[in-house]
């Protein structure tokens, strides 16, 4: 069996988890394996949606002690589920949660682990993963030698493909508790905004924005395109008051949107490592020699403070 750890938000399965589930369905069909969708928490409302995306079995582990995410609590629960179901492969989305818990599960199981994979195949019953290396400049194919294999899948890479299945529900016992760390309270900021790691359209600004207040023009363009705003490390570190949650790059978030508009971003290797997987890249920069143009699908050499408002007008006109 292939097991997929599914995250939920507001009673719905998060899109990166659905993408992992659909890819697992494809692998399971090719290898003649079953597919289980695993949910962990105090309330797994919404888990039934997994059946529409190919889950043969929906596995639930519910307990008040799992209401808030904790690294060791969730890792223990997931590892127990892998053992109980006899799963040979575990997938999770490469979200903040998935990146934290998946390697811990692998360690508990003595399993091989591949992070942030962009391609998967099943060879003789074992996973084979394609993942970026050298800051995204190359891709390596990774094989596993362990009986159980664990991998996290990069969001916005694998296609969503509804595939209704029976989705029988099974409940497993929760860990006894006594976790080393317990989350007491979660304070949210900017609720309602789409996580940039899951966004389909991103308008990002770099040092060329000159000030955090100037990101308002990017907000307007992103709003017209139905996207979100991100930033390079240079912009976040510049002391303009931009939150770290906006940072895209090797030390920030890795994104793979359909459209990425880079405004005033030079294209340093640290930033490119986080956005090179974007399907269409538009670069706006006054410097025609900026490295970002080597990566861009379309390049605009010009003053972003003139170009971006014009793009916003055009996007709004198309939306009418």
Which residues are annotated binding-site positions?
207, 232-233, 247-251, 264-271, 285
Residue 271 in tokens: 């930033």
Residue 67 in tokens: 């209401």
**60 and 77 in contact (C-beta within 8 Å)?**
no
Which residues are annotated binding-site positions for FAD?
207, 232-233, 247-251, 264-271, 285
Give per-residue burial for 151-174: e unless 16+ CB within 10 Å, then b: bbbbbbbbeeeeeebebebeeeeb
Residue 44's SS3 state is coil
Supply the DSSP symbol for 247: B
Residue 59's SS3 state is strand
Supply the DSSP symbol for 50: G
Q: Which strand (E) or helix (H) includes residue 28?
A: helix 15-31
């Amino acid at each position: 069996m292939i097991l997929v750890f599914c995250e939920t938000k507001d009673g719905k399965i998060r899109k990166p988890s659905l993408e992992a589930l659909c890819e697992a369905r494809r692998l399971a069909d090719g290898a003649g394996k079953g597919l289980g969708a695993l949910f962990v928490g105090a309330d797994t409302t919404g888990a039934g949606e997994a059946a529409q995306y190919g889950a043969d079995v929906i596995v639930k582990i519910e307990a008040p002690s799992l209401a808030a995410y904790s690294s060791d609590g969730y890792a223990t629960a997931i590892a127990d589920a892998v053992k109980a179901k006899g799963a040979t492969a575990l997938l999770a989305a490469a979200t903040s949660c998935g990146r934290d818990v998946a390697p811990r599960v692998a360690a508990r199981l003595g399993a091989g682990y591949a992070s942030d994979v962009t391609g998967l195949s099943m060879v003789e019953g074992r996973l084979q993963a394609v993942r970026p290396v050298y800051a995204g400049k190359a891709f390596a194919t990774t094989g596993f030698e362990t009986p159980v294999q664990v991998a996290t899948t990069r969001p916005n890479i694998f296609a969503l493909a509804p595939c209704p299945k029976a989705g029988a529900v099974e409940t497993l016992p929760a860990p006894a508790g006594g976790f080393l760390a317990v989350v007491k309270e979660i304070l949210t900021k900017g609720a309602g905004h789409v996580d940039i790691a899951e966004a389909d359209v991103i308008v990002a600004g770099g040092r060329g924005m000159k000030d955090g207040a100037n990101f308002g023009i990017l907000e307007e363009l992103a709003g017209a395109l139905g996207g979100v705003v991100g930033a390079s490390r240079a912009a976040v570190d510049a002391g303009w008051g931009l939150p770290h949650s906006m940072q895209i790059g090797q030390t920030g978030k890795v994104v793979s949107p359909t459209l990425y508009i880079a405004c005033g971003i030079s294209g340093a290797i640290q930033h490119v490592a986080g956005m090179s997987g974007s399907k269409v890249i538009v670069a706006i920069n006054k410097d025609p020699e900026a490295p970002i143009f080597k990566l861009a699908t379309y390049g605009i050499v010009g003053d972003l403070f003139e170009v971006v408002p014009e793009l916003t007008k055009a996007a709004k006109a198309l939306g009418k």
